[in-house]
Amino acid sequence: MKKVFKILLWVVVGLVFCGTFVFLYLNSKDEEARYATVRPETATIEKSTVLTGKIEPRDEIEVKPQISGIISEIEVEAGDLVKEGDIIARIKVIPEASQLSSAQSRVNAAEIELADARVKHERDKALYEKKVISREEYETSEKTWLKAQEELSAAKDAYTIVREGVSQYNASESNTLVRATITGLVLDVPVKVGSSVIQANTMNDGTTVATIADMNNLIFRGNVDETEVGLLRVGLPMNISIGAMPELNPTAVIEYISPKGSDTSGANTFEIKAALQLDSAEGLRAGYSANASVILAKAENCLAVPESVVEFVGADSTYVYVQAADSVSYERRTITTGLSDGIRIEVKEGIDSTAVLRGEKLK
Protein backbone atom coordinates (compact mmCIF):
# COMPACT_ATOMS: atom_id res chain seq x y z
CA MET A 1 0.00 0.00 0.00
CA LYS A 2 2.81 2.33 0.88
CA LYS A 3 4.57 1.48 -2.36
CA VAL A 4 1.48 2.41 -4.44
CA PHE A 5 1.14 5.73 -2.59
CA LYS A 6 4.78 6.60 -3.30
CA ILE A 7 4.33 5.82 -6.99
CA LEU A 8 1.25 8.05 -7.22
CA LEU A 9 3.06 10.89 -5.44
CA TRP A 10 5.95 10.75 -7.88
CA VAL A 11 3.54 10.69 -10.82
CA VAL A 12 1.82 13.87 -9.54
CA VAL A 13 5.15 15.61 -9.04
CA GLY A 14 6.21 14.66 -12.54
CA LEU A 15 3.00 15.96 -14.06
CA VAL A 16 3.35 19.28 -12.20
CA PHE A 17 6.95 19.64 -13.37
CA CYS A 18 6.09 18.86 -17.00
CA GLY A 19 3.11 21.23 -16.94
CA THR A 20 5.23 24.05 -15.56
CA PHE A 21 7.87 23.50 -18.21
CA VAL A 22 5.32 23.51 -21.02
CA PHE A 23 3.66 26.70 -19.66
CA LEU A 24 6.95 28.57 -19.42
CA TYR A 25 7.98 27.42 -22.88
CA LEU A 26 4.76 28.57 -24.49
CA ASN A 27 4.91 31.97 -22.78
CA SER A 28 8.52 32.53 -23.79
CA LYS A 29 7.74 32.27 -27.50
CA ASP A 30 7.42 35.61 -29.36
CA GLU A 31 3.92 36.23 -30.58
CA GLU A 32 3.51 37.27 -34.17
CA ALA A 33 3.04 41.05 -34.19
CA ARG A 34 -0.11 42.24 -35.92
CA TYR A 35 -0.84 45.89 -36.75
CA ALA A 36 -3.79 47.91 -37.97
CA THR A 37 -3.25 49.51 -41.35
CA VAL A 38 -3.81 53.16 -42.29
CA ARG A 39 -4.05 54.81 -45.68
CA PRO A 40 -3.24 58.49 -46.36
CA GLU A 41 -6.18 60.69 -47.25
CA THR A 42 -6.73 64.08 -48.81
CA ALA A 43 -7.84 66.56 -46.16
CA THR A 44 -7.76 70.16 -45.03
CA ILE A 45 -5.68 70.68 -41.89
CA GLU A 46 -6.10 73.73 -39.71
CA LYS A 47 -3.95 74.77 -36.80
CA SER A 48 -6.01 76.90 -34.45
CA THR A 49 -5.87 78.29 -30.96
CA VAL A 50 -8.47 79.49 -28.47
CA LEU A 51 -8.08 82.80 -26.68
CA THR A 52 -9.93 83.75 -23.52
CA GLY A 53 -11.17 87.26 -22.92
CA LYS A 54 -14.21 89.49 -22.53
CA ILE A 55 -16.73 91.39 -24.59
CA GLU A 56 -16.31 95.11 -24.00
CA PRO A 57 -17.52 98.38 -25.53
CA ARG A 58 -14.88 100.01 -27.66
CA ASP A 59 -15.15 103.20 -25.59
CA GLU A 60 -16.51 103.69 -22.08
CA ILE A 61 -17.06 107.38 -21.37
CA GLU A 62 -16.88 108.65 -17.81
CA VAL A 63 -19.17 111.62 -17.35
CA LYS A 64 -17.80 114.10 -14.80
CA PRO A 65 -19.32 117.32 -13.39
CA GLN A 66 -18.22 120.79 -14.47
CA ILE A 67 -18.67 122.15 -10.99
CA SER A 68 -18.13 120.89 -7.44
CA GLY A 69 -21.05 120.36 -5.11
CA ILE A 70 -23.52 117.77 -3.83
CA ILE A 71 -25.72 115.50 -5.94
CA SER A 72 -29.32 116.64 -5.43
CA GLU A 73 -31.02 114.48 -8.10
CA ILE A 74 -30.11 111.49 -10.25
CA GLU A 75 -32.20 111.09 -13.39
CA VAL A 76 -30.88 107.72 -14.69
CA GLU A 77 -29.80 104.30 -13.47
CA ALA A 78 -27.58 101.56 -14.86
CA GLY A 79 -29.18 99.94 -17.90
CA ASP A 80 -30.95 103.07 -19.17
CA LEU A 81 -30.48 104.27 -22.74
CA VAL A 82 -29.61 107.96 -22.99
CA LYS A 83 -29.06 110.40 -25.82
CA GLU A 84 -26.35 112.98 -26.04
CA GLY A 85 -27.42 116.01 -23.98
CA ASP A 86 -29.86 114.16 -21.69
CA ILE A 87 -29.70 115.22 -18.05
CA ILE A 88 -28.05 112.58 -15.87
CA ALA A 89 -27.90 114.37 -12.54
CA ARG A 90 -28.33 117.74 -10.86
CA ILE A 91 -25.80 119.30 -8.51
CA LYS A 92 -26.44 121.62 -5.60
CA VAL A 93 -23.61 124.10 -5.21
CA ILE A 94 -22.10 124.72 -1.79
CA PRO A 95 -20.38 128.11 -2.21
CA GLU A 96 -17.12 129.03 -0.53
CA ALA A 97 -17.46 131.85 1.98
CA SER A 98 -14.64 133.91 0.47
CA GLN A 99 -16.05 133.66 -3.07
CA LEU A 100 -19.55 134.50 -1.87
CA SER A 101 -18.25 137.49 0.09
CA SER A 102 -16.27 138.75 -2.90
CA ALA A 103 -19.29 138.41 -5.21
CA GLN A 104 -21.49 140.29 -2.72
CA SER A 105 -18.88 143.03 -2.44
CA ARG A 106 -18.89 143.40 -6.22
CA VAL A 107 -22.69 143.81 -6.19
CA ASN A 108 -22.48 146.51 -3.51
CA ALA A 109 -19.79 148.41 -5.41
CA ALA A 110 -21.84 148.18 -8.64
CA GLU A 111 -24.90 149.60 -6.86
CA ILE A 112 -22.84 152.54 -5.58
CA GLU A 113 -21.42 153.22 -9.05
CA LEU A 114 -24.90 153.03 -10.58
CA ALA A 115 -26.34 155.46 -8.07
CA ASP A 116 -23.53 157.94 -8.73
CA ALA A 117 -23.84 157.57 -12.49
CA ARG A 118 -27.61 158.13 -12.32
CA VAL A 119 -27.23 161.35 -10.33
CA LYS A 120 -24.62 162.70 -12.74
CA HIS A 121 -26.74 161.74 -15.74
CA GLU A 122 -29.84 163.48 -14.37
CA ARG A 123 -27.81 166.59 -13.61
CA ASP A 124 -26.20 166.66 -17.06
CA LYS A 125 -29.57 166.11 -18.66
CA ALA A 126 -30.97 169.23 -16.95
CA LEU A 127 -27.90 171.25 -17.96
CA TYR A 128 -28.13 170.01 -21.55
CA GLU A 129 -31.79 171.02 -21.79
CA LYS A 130 -30.73 174.51 -20.66
CA LYS A 131 -27.96 174.44 -23.27
CA VAL A 132 -25.30 174.85 -20.58
CA ILE A 133 -23.28 171.78 -21.65
CA SER A 134 -22.64 170.27 -25.05
CA ARG A 135 -24.44 167.27 -26.47
CA GLU A 136 -21.17 165.30 -26.35
CA GLU A 137 -20.84 165.78 -22.58
CA TYR A 138 -24.47 164.72 -22.12
CA GLU A 139 -24.02 161.52 -24.19
CA THR A 140 -20.86 160.63 -22.26
CA SER A 141 -22.72 160.76 -18.95
CA GLU A 142 -25.54 158.69 -20.44
CA LYS A 143 -23.09 156.00 -21.56
CA THR A 144 -21.52 155.94 -18.10
CA TRP A 145 -24.96 155.44 -16.57
CA LEU A 146 -25.83 152.56 -18.96
CA LYS A 147 -22.48 150.87 -18.30
CA ALA A 148 -23.12 151.09 -14.56
CA GLN A 149 -26.48 149.34 -15.08
CA GLU A 150 -24.80 146.58 -17.06
CA GLU A 151 -22.08 146.14 -14.44
CA LEU A 152 -24.67 145.78 -11.67
CA SER A 153 -26.56 143.18 -13.68
CA ALA A 154 -23.33 141.24 -14.31
CA ALA A 155 -22.34 141.46 -10.64
CA LYS A 156 -25.72 140.09 -9.54
CA ASP A 157 -25.46 137.24 -12.06
CA ALA A 158 -21.95 136.40 -10.81
CA TYR A 159 -23.27 136.37 -7.26
CA THR A 160 -26.09 133.99 -8.28
CA ILE A 161 -23.62 131.66 -9.99
CA VAL A 162 -21.37 131.52 -6.91
CA ARG A 163 -24.31 130.95 -4.58
CA GLU A 164 -26.44 128.58 -6.69
CA GLY A 165 -24.30 127.61 -9.67
CA VAL A 166 -27.01 128.83 -12.06
CA SER A 167 -26.89 131.86 -14.32
CA GLN A 168 -30.10 133.85 -14.67
CA TYR A 169 -29.44 134.21 -18.40
CA ASN A 170 -28.80 130.56 -19.36
CA ALA A 171 -30.29 128.39 -16.65
CA SER A 172 -30.89 125.55 -19.13
CA GLU A 173 -27.12 125.34 -19.78
CA SER A 174 -26.17 125.54 -16.16
CA ASN A 175 -23.02 123.78 -14.90
CA THR A 176 -25.19 122.24 -12.19
CA LEU A 177 -26.78 119.98 -14.81
CA VAL A 178 -24.67 116.91 -15.61
CA ARG A 179 -25.49 115.82 -19.16
CA ALA A 180 -24.69 112.73 -21.25
CA THR A 181 -21.81 113.44 -23.62
CA ILE A 182 -22.64 110.54 -26.00
CA THR A 183 -25.64 108.42 -26.99
CA GLY A 184 -25.47 104.97 -25.44
CA LEU A 185 -26.20 102.68 -22.51
CA VAL A 186 -25.57 103.70 -18.91
CA LEU A 187 -23.23 101.04 -17.52
CA ASP A 188 -22.75 102.40 -14.02
CA VAL A 189 -23.84 105.23 -11.75
CA PRO A 190 -21.28 105.15 -8.90
CA VAL A 191 -22.74 108.12 -6.96
CA LYS A 192 -25.90 108.58 -4.92
CA VAL A 193 -28.06 111.52 -3.95
CA GLY A 194 -26.14 113.41 -1.27
CA SER A 195 -22.71 112.37 -2.58
CA SER A 196 -20.11 115.12 -2.85
CA VAL A 197 -18.58 115.52 -6.30
CA ILE A 198 -15.53 117.40 -7.54
CA GLN A 199 -15.01 118.88 -10.97
CA ALA A 200 -12.04 117.72 -13.01
CA ASN A 201 -9.02 120.02 -12.94
CA THR A 202 -5.23 119.91 -13.07
CA MET A 203 -5.06 118.61 -9.50
CA ASN A 204 -7.49 115.66 -9.74
CA ASP A 205 -9.48 113.62 -12.23
CA GLY A 206 -12.84 114.64 -10.82
CA THR A 207 -15.73 112.48 -9.65
CA THR A 208 -17.34 110.10 -12.13
CA VAL A 209 -21.11 110.57 -12.07
CA ALA A 210 -21.91 107.92 -14.70
CA THR A 211 -20.24 105.62 -17.22
CA ILE A 212 -21.80 105.44 -20.69
CA ALA A 213 -20.90 103.24 -23.66
CA ASP A 214 -22.14 102.63 -27.18
CA MET A 215 -23.16 98.94 -27.06
CA ASN A 216 -23.41 98.81 -30.85
CA ASN A 217 -19.64 99.17 -31.10
CA LEU A 218 -18.18 96.18 -29.24
CA ILE A 219 -14.79 94.49 -29.23
CA PHE A 220 -13.31 91.25 -27.97
CA ARG A 221 -10.35 91.90 -25.68
CA GLY A 222 -8.15 88.91 -24.86
CA ASN A 223 -4.61 87.66 -24.40
CA VAL A 224 -2.45 85.36 -26.50
CA ASP A 225 0.65 83.45 -25.42
CA GLU A 226 4.03 84.58 -26.71
CA THR A 227 4.49 81.25 -28.53
CA GLU A 228 1.51 82.00 -30.79
CA VAL A 229 1.45 85.80 -31.06
CA GLY A 230 3.86 85.67 -34.01
CA LEU A 231 1.28 83.68 -36.00
CA LEU A 232 -1.40 86.35 -35.60
CA ARG A 233 -1.82 89.40 -37.78
CA VAL A 234 -4.18 92.35 -38.03
CA GLY A 235 -7.20 91.51 -40.20
CA LEU A 236 -7.30 87.82 -39.24
CA PRO A 237 -10.89 86.56 -38.67
CA MET A 238 -12.01 84.96 -35.41
CA ASN A 239 -15.06 83.03 -34.25
CA ILE A 240 -16.42 84.19 -30.90
CA SER A 241 -18.33 82.03 -28.42
CA ILE A 242 -20.01 83.70 -25.44
CA GLY A 243 -20.65 81.51 -22.42
CA ALA A 244 -23.73 83.42 -21.26
CA MET A 245 -25.25 83.41 -24.76
CA PRO A 246 -24.34 80.09 -26.43
CA GLU A 247 -26.85 80.67 -29.22
CA LEU A 248 -24.93 83.76 -30.35
CA ASN A 249 -21.73 83.06 -32.32
CA PRO A 250 -20.50 86.33 -33.82
CA THR A 251 -17.37 86.76 -35.86
CA ALA A 252 -14.63 89.30 -35.24
CA VAL A 253 -11.60 90.73 -37.01
CA ILE A 254 -8.31 91.39 -35.24
CA GLU A 255 -7.51 95.10 -35.31
CA TYR A 256 -4.81 95.43 -32.65
CA ILE A 257 -1.95 93.29 -31.31
CA SER A 258 0.01 94.74 -28.42
CA PRO A 259 3.70 95.31 -29.21
CA LYS A 260 4.57 94.72 -25.56
CA GLY A 261 3.92 91.63 -23.46
CA SER A 262 2.77 91.47 -19.86
CA ASP A 263 3.32 88.89 -17.15
CA THR A 264 0.01 87.11 -16.49
CA SER A 265 0.21 84.38 -13.82
CA GLY A 266 3.81 83.66 -14.71
CA ALA A 267 3.19 83.54 -18.48
CA ASN A 268 4.18 86.24 -20.96
CA THR A 269 1.06 87.23 -22.91
CA PHE A 270 0.11 89.91 -25.42
CA GLU A 271 -3.18 91.78 -25.52
CA ILE A 272 -5.28 91.67 -28.66
CA LYS A 273 -8.45 93.52 -29.68
CA ALA A 274 -10.91 92.36 -32.32
CA ALA A 275 -13.93 94.24 -33.67
CA LEU A 276 -17.17 92.27 -33.29
CA GLN A 277 -19.36 91.99 -36.37
CA LEU A 278 -22.97 91.90 -35.17
CA ASP A 279 -26.31 92.72 -36.72
CA SER A 280 -27.71 93.46 -33.27
CA ALA A 281 -26.17 93.71 -29.80
CA GLU A 282 -29.49 93.09 -28.07
CA GLY A 283 -28.98 91.13 -24.85
CA LEU A 284 -25.22 91.57 -24.78
CA ARG A 285 -23.72 93.03 -21.63
CA ALA A 286 -20.33 94.59 -21.11
CA GLY A 287 -17.92 92.20 -19.43
CA TYR A 288 -19.34 88.90 -20.70
CA SER A 289 -16.64 86.21 -20.74
CA ALA A 290 -15.91 84.88 -24.20
CA ASN A 291 -13.57 82.60 -26.14
CA ALA A 292 -12.14 83.39 -29.54
CA SER A 293 -11.13 80.64 -31.94
CA VAL A 294 -8.63 81.77 -34.54
CA ILE A 295 -7.04 79.74 -37.35
CA LEU A 296 -3.28 80.26 -37.21
CA ALA A 297 -2.39 78.24 -40.32
CA LYS A 298 -4.22 76.17 -42.92
CA ALA A 299 -3.27 73.52 -45.51
CA GLU A 300 -6.04 72.73 -48.00
CA ASN A 301 -6.39 69.50 -50.01
CA CYS A 302 -3.16 68.06 -48.68
CA LEU A 303 -2.06 64.44 -48.13
CA ALA A 304 -2.60 63.68 -44.43
CA VAL A 305 -2.03 60.76 -42.08
CA PRO A 306 -2.80 60.25 -38.40
CA GLU A 307 0.01 61.75 -36.34
CA SER A 308 0.10 58.55 -34.26
CA VAL A 309 1.64 56.55 -37.18
CA VAL A 310 4.54 58.98 -37.59
CA GLU A 311 7.85 58.31 -35.83
CA PHE A 312 9.71 61.46 -34.80
CA VAL A 313 13.47 61.23 -34.37
CA GLY A 314 15.37 64.30 -33.26
CA ALA A 315 14.23 67.75 -34.26
CA ASP A 316 13.70 67.28 -37.98
CA SER A 317 13.54 63.58 -38.87
CA THR A 318 10.21 61.82 -39.40
CA TYR A 319 9.44 58.28 -40.55
CA VAL A 320 6.51 55.99 -41.28
CA TYR A 321 6.38 52.20 -41.80
CA VAL A 322 5.03 51.26 -45.23
CA GLN A 323 3.62 47.80 -45.87
CA ALA A 324 5.92 45.73 -48.10
CA ALA A 325 4.88 43.73 -51.15
CA ASP A 326 4.36 40.58 -49.07
CA SER A 327 1.60 42.43 -47.11
CA VAL A 328 3.16 41.10 -43.90
CA SER A 329 6.37 43.01 -43.24
CA TYR A 330 6.88 46.81 -43.15
CA GLU A 331 9.73 49.00 -44.29
CA ARG A 332 10.77 52.26 -42.66
CA ARG A 333 10.54 55.27 -44.95
CA THR A 334 11.58 58.90 -44.49
CA ILE A 335 8.86 61.52 -45.06
CA THR A 336 8.66 65.30 -45.03
CA THR A 337 5.86 66.62 -42.85
CA GLY A 338 4.04 69.94 -42.74
CA LEU A 339 1.18 71.35 -40.73
CA SER A 340 -0.36 69.40 -37.85
CA ASP A 341 -3.60 69.92 -35.94
CA GLY A 342 -2.61 67.49 -33.19
CA ILE A 343 -4.58 64.59 -34.73
CA ARG A 344 -3.54 64.58 -38.38
CA ILE A 345 -0.34 65.77 -39.97
CA GLU A 346 0.41 66.92 -43.52
CA VAL A 347 2.80 64.78 -45.57
CA LYS A 348 4.63 66.76 -48.24
CA GLU A 349 7.06 64.09 -49.55
CA GLY A 350 7.94 60.42 -49.07
CA ILE A 351 4.64 58.59 -49.73
CA ASP A 352 1.59 58.89 -51.92
CA SER A 353 -2.09 58.14 -51.47
CA THR A 354 -1.61 54.43 -52.39
CA ALA A 355 0.72 53.67 -49.47
CA VAL A 356 -0.44 51.32 -46.71
CA LEU A 357 1.00 52.36 -43.36
CA ARG A 358 1.50 50.48 -40.14
CA GLY A 359 -0.86 51.70 -37.47
CA GLU A 360 -1.48 50.69 -33.88
CA LYS A 361 -0.43 47.24 -32.70
CA LEU A 362 -3.31 44.77 -32.35
CA LYS A 363 -3.58 42.53 -29.31
Tens of pLDDT, residue by residue over 75-101, are: 999 989 999 999 999 888 776 666 667
Q: Is the pLDDT of residue 216 over 60?
A: yes
Span 139-153, average pLDDT: 86
Mean pLDDT of the chain: 84
Q: How far apart are CA 193 and CA 88, in angstroms?
A: 12
What are the C-alpha distances in Å from 306 to residues 175, 238, 300, 317? 71, 27, 16, 17
Total count of residues recorded for the chain = 363
- Residue 170: per-residue pLDDT: 55
Nearest residue to 258 (alpha-carbon basis) of 287, 232, 289, 227: 232
Residue pair 192/76 in contact (Cβ under 8 Å)? The answer is no
Q: Which of 219, 276, 232, 268 is nearest to 49 (CA)?
A: 232
**Tens-place pLDDT, residues 17-74:** 666 666 665 565 555 567 788 899 999 998 888 899 999 999 899 999 888 888 989 9
Higher pLDDT, 218 or 137: 218
Closest CA to 69 of 175, 158, 167: 175
pLDDT tens, residue by residue, 289-347: 999 999 888 899 999 999 988 999 887 889 999 988 887 788 999 999 999 888 899 99
**Mind listing the pLDDT tens digit for each residue in 271-286?**
999 999 888 777 788 8
What is the Cβ-side half-sphere exposure of residue 116, based on CA atoms within 13 angstroms?
10
Highest-scoring range by mean pLDDT, 166-170, 262-266, 344-348: 344-348
CA distances from residue 276 to 9, 149, 220, 327, 363 in whole angstroms, order as listed: 88, 61, 7, 55, 52
pLDDT of the residue at 4: 62
Where b means 16+ CB within 10 Å and e means fewer, 178-198 reads bbbbeebbbbbbebeeeeebe
Amino acid 142: pLDDT: 86
How high is the pLDDT of residue 110? 83
At 114 the pLDDT is 82
Dump pLDDT digits (tens) for 222-250: 999 888 888 899 999 999 999 888 888 89
What is the reported pLDDT for 63?
Answer: 93
What is the reported pLDDT for 5?
Answer: 64
Considering the chain, what percentage of its residues have pLDDT values greater than 70?
85
